[in-house]
Chain A
């Protein structure tokens, strides 16, 4: 995921596709330089260093995936769109800041969508349900922790903040 106007560059596991461990920062810089200079009406595919990169722009955000030669480029565009729709549903009209401050959540969602570089779920509803299920587990753990720390606080008569399970 690259940003057109900010120097912050977040590239997601999408670049990890098919085990190319490629998201080293230089690669990202070079690739984003290549992609960001392309005009709006051009096609969404770039051949670069023997790899094919599919990218799609949403407002100021670019989503990129490196793919194999025999992958279906048009389908990859659909997968990117699929992911963005799930993000949109999760964050409620997602924006760039959502993704920067909650990058881990963006990854959690991606992990429900792609695994080992392959699509694992074509239903947005199911993805949303699975992520929500895990989020609620975290919430429960947080509440328990804060309950325990309240007890400790009472017991020690010391003012102490609940342990922040969420950051």
Chain B
């Protein structure tokens, strides 16, 4: 060891790190090493530079910051010796990526090394360029790489070919320069060059239609011949993998042929024979062979139709599906998914096998198979498939249940042929996996039940029965409790019995028992308990004989620690005691819920809270007639969305009385919300005066009962919203419910600014003759340091700007995060936007400042605009 060197050897450092027992120890060792390396860097130590950098790479791999070593990479690369360069380039690829500005400095060294006399050094430079080059470097160095495609040593040619791929991906405009050299690579015999050449051609075809045309015309036959020679070649030990000569080359050739054959009948025709030969002759007992077959099937499915080949391909996939190897089954499912678009009928034939895969023990396969089944379902096979899936729901493990439930619910909603089937299936899902069912799904179920007047009896009985077997499934309990509350009398009197039903005897107290269990069960949450309370209130008027008992149960919640329950309990008790005369009318059955309103609200109002698995708006199941919405209900719907928030106490009283608005307990006090003109008028119509409930006189009650018809529907619409735990959103005026659009017409809505903190004027940050950039500012509440900036770029010229790129730099006390722009093309006189986030660590002391650079192209000509923005508002 050199006595003058403070550092340890790489090996010793790794050993020291590995022997650390705790993370703290490891950090200490790393800190010490980093300090030594920093010291060496500042002394400009040359002898140990490459060793230090090797250490840094190891430290980097452990996840510690190593940016201070970046400049050292450049120094090593610039040195003359091969060992230094080798480590330097490796460190460059590991420690840096194309986002770092330092990278620009390396362009010159790369250029020199690409022209070096030592071919290994050329190789190093090509490798680095291929792995990390940026668009600018690609432009600068493309001529060098292009030249190296014809270098005498094949090992350089192949590296140059792969490097070209990166270049054309970064700068697609350069593709045309590479078409000819790439085509000549296809005539090579050296496998490495051939593989990389084919790969380069494939990528050229992807970025340039000109290249695709060229290769299709000039090279298809040659490629087919190469593949034929390969397939028929005798044993070649150097390239042999499991008895097949160079499967890698096979696969790449097939991939290129796929692109050439796609959408071109002649080219497809030309390759039919060889594809058939590969598909039939390759042995499928080893992974390498299967990889080729898999690729071949992909090619057959993509090229222009040839009936015989398609059958062959689907048969291979069928064989794959029944393979014991999980990998093979996974790729088969993957390919069948792609084949769905080409030949859905053929895929349907394997339905049974695919369904088996849904039950596989391997999570990756299950997920793939389920996705595929989801695609396979249509009106004609929905019943058997759903049956299978629901049966499997029972056996599946917990993690998978969520995904599976989502898919089943969405299938049932999408393809349901009739209401009774829909209700049946949903009940099964709720009983099996009710806790995985999303809120909007069981909301929809309630809407459907409410609309199917002939099935009320059937549904409530079925739910009652289900409730007897399980009380663990939250959403089942909710739906059941709701139905029992609404249709309790039907349940007890066995009204509307269907032929298929088994008779069931439920007494009034049985029904109350069921609800009582729900309210007392330990797993029931606030929503369930609150719904159970409402159900009890309703039952109290339906079953006069049980009303004393119901009162007891309601009173038990008077001491509840949950404000919401306590409040409800007290209010309901009040109704039971003091308002006998209006109670019956008050708790009348809800009118039919309007499906159109519900599905509209579902699609529009809570976009962030409900993401359905399919991403599509839910359709209310087929076969259900939509009742015409009464105009009066529409009016009330308007007000019902806003009633809890504005301060008209009459409206609030009604809400609370009916106890349907869960949000009041959790939502912030709503007094600060300014009442809106339009809504107020509506609310005043409904208002019954300002007297609080306890003192309400009989005359107030009379008014109440006289507007009973109105309140009932008001309540039910609110009930619907409040079923969701997100009702706080749903009910507050800031919610984006579609009805709000209507209300906007009545008066300005002032909430926006309040939510986003203080408002800042927008700023024209930069303007030139051709371009204007303006900034809009907003802050997240509770985070004054961070400013969200919405930049809008407006094209002031009649030209289209392509490859539009906005860059910004900020001083150290600021942190900048740029999101991608809405588009990289700026149409003439059009505009695009881009948002960014600036965090000011010196908030309050220094104001923002930003240097900007905007690059774009007009008719292929580069334009660069630069500037500095100093006129930010002071307190950002």
| Interface of A toward B, CB cutoff 8 Å | 6, 8-11, 13, 16, 19, 21, 24-25, 28, 38, 41-47, 72-75, 77-79, 82, 100-101, 103-104, 107-108, 111, 115-116, 118-126, 130, 133-134, 137-138, 141-142, 160-161, 163-167
Contacts and interface: CB of A to CB of B under 8 A. Distances in A.
Given A73-B327, A164-B51, A119 B195 contact: yes
6 contacts: A10-B61, A72-B295, A78-B288, A161-B2, A165-B50, A165-B83
A51 to B, nearest CB: 13
A38 B367 CA distance: 15
Contacts of A72: 251, 255, 291, 294-295, 298
B258 to A, nearest CB: 10
Contacts of A101: 11, 14
A11 B287 contact: no
B241 A115 contact: no
B567 interface: no
B86 A134 contact: yes
Contacts of A142: 83
A163 B58 CA distance: 22
Contact of A138 (B62, B86, B123, B241): B86
Contacts of B87: 104
A134 B162 contact: no
B131 A115 contact: yes
Contact of B93 (A6, A13, A25, A161): A13
A135 to B, nearest CB: 10
B327 A122 contact: no
B159 A120 contact: yes
Contacts of B817: none
A74 B249 CA distance: 14
Contacts of B290: 74
B192 A47 contact: no
B82 interface: yes
A4 to B, nearest CB: 16
B746 interface: no
Contacts of B130: 115-116
B510 to A, nearest CB: 47
Contacts of A21: 97-98
Interface in B351-374: 361-365, 367-368
A167 B54 contact: yes
Contacts of A73: 327, 330-331, 334
B291 A123 contact: no
Nearest to B329: A43
Contacts of A82: 241, 248
B326 A42 contact: yes
B326 A119 contact: no
Contacts of B251: 72, 75
B367 A47 contact: yes
A60 to B, nearest CB: 14
A108 B81 CA distance: 17
B248 A43 contact: no
Interface string B1-14: 11000000111001
Contact of A116 (B11, B166, B364): B166
A167 B11 contact: yes
Contacts of B2: 160-161, 163-164
B631 interface: no
Contact of B326 (A24, A41, A111, A160): A41
A33 B802 CA distance: 43
Nearest to B242: A78
Contacts of A19: 166, 169
Contacts of A104: 54, 57, 87, 90
Contacts of B127: 111, 115
Interface string B635-656: 0000000000000000000000
A118 B165 contact: yes
A116 B291 contact: no
Contacts of A6: 18
Tell me which of B61, B165, B330 has the highest count of chain A C-beta atoms within 10 A of its own C-beta. Answer: B61
A13 B131 contact: yes
Contacts of B195: 119-122
B798 interface: no
A137 B82 contact: yes
Contacts of B295: 72, 75
B191 A122 contact: yes
Contacts of A120: 158-159, 162, 192, 195-196
Contacts of A141: 81-83
A47 B368 CA distance: 9
Contacts of A78: 241, 247-248, 287-288, 291
Contacts of B813: none
Contacts of A43: 325-327, 329-330, 362, 364-365
A39 to B, nearest CB: 8
B47 interface: yes
Given A42-B364, A163-B47, 14 more contacts: A10-B61, A13-B94, A41-B326, A77-B327, A78-B248, A101-B14, A104-B57, A119-B195, A120-B196, A126-B192, A161-B2, A164-B51, A167-B10, A167-B50
A101 to B, nearest CB: 6
A78 B287 CA distance: 8
A82 B63 CA distance: 28
Nearest to B247: A78
A11 B159 contact: no
A113 to B, nearest CB: 10
Contact of A115 (B51, B94, B163, B249): B163
A38 to B, nearest CB: 8
Contacts of B61: 9-11, 103
- The residue in B1, B239, B249 that gathers the most chain A C-beta atoms within 10 A of its C-beta is B239
A8 B294 contact: no
A108 B83 contact: no
Interface in B119-163: 120, 123, 126-127, 130-131, 155, 158-159, 162-163
B192 A122 contact: yes
A74 B316 CA distance: 15
A122 B57 contact: no
A24 B58 CA distance: 13
A122 B239 contact: yes
B199 interface: yes
B413 interface: no
Contacts of B246: 122
A167 B327 contact: no
A104 B11 CA distance: 12
B238 interface: yes
